[in-house]
Structures are given as C-alpha cells and as structure tokens.
Amino acid sequence: MLFNASQQWEKCVKQIEERDRLIFVSVYVLIFVAGLILNLIALVVFFFHTKTRSHTTVYMTNLAFADLCLVCTLPVRICYHLGVSLHQRLCEAMGMILLINMYGSIFLLSCTSVDRCVAVCFPMSSRVREVRKKAPFICLGVWIMTVGASLPIYFIKPQLPGYQNQSKCFGSFPVYGTRPVAITSSLTVGFGVPLLAMLVSSWGLLRAIKRSQAAQTDLVDSRKIQRMIAMCLVIFLCCFLPYHLSLLLVYLHQRSIPCSLTSSYNYSLMVACLNAMLDPLAYYFTTETFRKKVDLDALRQMWPMQSQSQSADHHSRGPLNT
C-alpha cells in the first residue's frame, strides 16, 4: 500500500516539475539570496555591534544561525528543480538539515516571544530574571531536541520493494507523513505548542501594554508594538501552518494521494522556507522598539502596586534588555 502511494507521488511530482519548475527555482533563489544576506547582517550585528548581549539577543542569534543553515541547503534544492542529477544521500542530508533548522526556528521564535512577554509583564521578579539568564541552555536544549527528533526520520528507512535503489532526491514520498508518532509529534510538539506559547505571550504582552499608563504618552509607541506582534504572528502562521496542514492531509490520504495534495505539500514546504528571510524583518530590525522606547520606569507604571513600592528607585533608570 505504501509502495503504491510512493509510485503515485512520484508520478505527480514529475507533472509538477514540468509545470511549475520556474516558480520553484525563482522563489528558492529569492529566499536563498535574501535570507543569506539578511541573516549574515543580523549575525554580524549581534556579534560585533551589540554592546550588551541581552537574553533575547541570545535567542535571536540562534534564530539567525538556524535560518542561515536552512537557506544554505537551498542551492541543492534549486539544482534539483533545474533538473541536475544529485546523489540521494546528498538530498537526504540537505532535507534533514532543512527539517532540523525549520523546527529549530519554530521553537526559537516561540522562546523569543515568551522571553519578551515575561520581561515586560514581570520586570521586578528575581525568579524571572534567573530563568531568563538560562537562555543559552534553553537554546542548547532546543538544538538537542530538534536534532534528536529529526535524525530517526532519515535513519529509519521503509522496507519497500525497489524503494532503496531508486534515486528520487526531493521527489521522494514523505514516508514520515504516514507514521502516527511522527505526525502527532510534529503537529503537537513541533507546531501546536510553540503556536500556543506565541499566542499566550502575545496576548500577555498586549494586555500589559494596554494597561500601561506610559502607553498613553510618547514614552511607549504602543501601536508600533502591536503592529510588530501582529506581524510576527501572521508570518508564523502563514509560513508554518500550510506545511503542517499538508502533512496531516498526506497522513489522512496515504491510501490514495491525489496530485493536488502532492502539489500542495511541495508549495507549502517552499512557503515554510520563506520564514528564513522574513525573520530578520519581523524580529531583528523591529527590536529597537523594545530596547529604546520601553524603560524600567514605564514598566513599573504598568503595575500600580509595584510602582508604589518602588517609588524610591526612580533614580535607577535603564533600558529594558529584550
């Protein structure tokens, strides 16, 4: 049954390649060039032009590195869509690296969102400050989890007649899309939990900004912050939701896969890669809103009880390191 689905998938891929080759090549070239330039600039800024490395900067540095690794796999994908013959092992390695860094980006985006939220909502909590200091270890945990979850997909091969000997590169049937454990973990842990974390933290941050007295003044540009939060959520959903929906559909229709689903899967993967060049625009270059516009006195005004108890500390102003 699975072998028949694989054969049908390959026939559909050939039709898509003949019809949409130019689209795939053009978009992947755009993502590669823009993503490479923007993420290299971000890494240079974070390493050489940032005087104080905040906790959020740690997440964004790792995010830039993940996106950079992802775009570095795209030249092989571009060659594939141009019709260049590639070794199956190379294709599998590039696919694994893309998968690792895509889910690494998802988790790091959610970590960045949560970190900003707790920094704004609990500016005086010593416990929160101690947790935020563990940002490097949290990032290490993200990398260990994504690598550990992705490797089995490529090392556990399906035992199908003729499957091992065929070189299909990126046109191969996504066998992991038929495995209940892989689909469940991808949809829940890989996408659902990070999305929930981003939604909750964005709601908490917006609530804190709206309750702030400083938001009614020029001290905090609340509209700009709201636009940034909305833009980040929209980019996250537009990039990653289609891919995970297509994975679910592959699992549900694995007995008889229509060519429209094969096309949707390939296009959704391409859209997911767009995130690598959109992250710098959404996160890195709008972070100045938090670093320059929000200070500790403004944050104290968000919570009347804290502002009263800390009234003697107005002399210790400093920018929020998020």
Name the DSSP letter for residue 187: I
Does position 25 have pLDDT exceeding 60, yes or no? yes
Name which residue leads in pLDDT, 178 or 215: 178
pLDDT at 245: 94
In order of 107, 166, 311, the CA distances from 159 in angstroms are 32, 13, 69
Residue 3 predicted with pLDDT over 70: no
State residue 140's pLDDT score: 95
pTM: 0.82
* pLDDT over threshold 80, residue 304: no
Q: Hey, what long-range contacts does 222-231 have (CB within 8 A, 24 or more apart)?
A: 224/286, 224/289, 224/293, 225/289, 225/290, 225/293, 228/282, 228/286, 228/289, 229/202, 229/205, 231/282, 231/286
Of 18, 120, 21, 108, the C-alpha closest to 70 is: 108
pLDDT tens digits, one per residue of 111-133: 988 988 888 888 778 888 888 88
Distance from C-alpha of 26 to C-alpha of 33, rounded to nearest angstrom: 11
The SS3 assignment for 82 reads coil
Tell me what pLDDT residue 246 has. Answer: 92
58 Cβ contact list (under 8 Å, min separation 6): 135, 136, 139
**Which ranges in 133-255 belong to alpha helices (H)?**
135-155, 180-185, 193-211, 222-252
Domains in the chain: boundaries? 2-303
Paired strand residues for 319: 295
**Considering only CA atoms, which of 90, 58, 60 is closest in space to residue 75?**
90
Phi first, then psi: what are they for 309, rounded to 5°? -75, -20
- Tell me which residue has tokens 């920018």: 319
Half-sphere exposure of 158 (CA within 13 A, CB side): 18
Report residue 308's pLDDT band, with 50, 70 and 90 as the boundaries: very low
When the pLDDT of each residue in the chain is averaged and rounded to a whole number, the result is: 79
pLDDT tens profile 53-92: 677 788 989 999 999 999 999 999 999 999 888 888 898 8
Third-level CATH fold of 2-303? Rhopdopsin 7-helix transmembrane proteins (1.20.1070)
39-52, pLDDT tens digit by residue? Answer: 998 888 877 766 55
Supply 92's token pair: 């599998």
* Cα 71 to Cα 307: distance, rounded to the nearest angstrom: 46
Contact 83, 45 (CB under 8 A): no
Residue 167 has pLDDT above 70, yes or no: no
Residue 25 C-alpha from the chain's centroid: 22
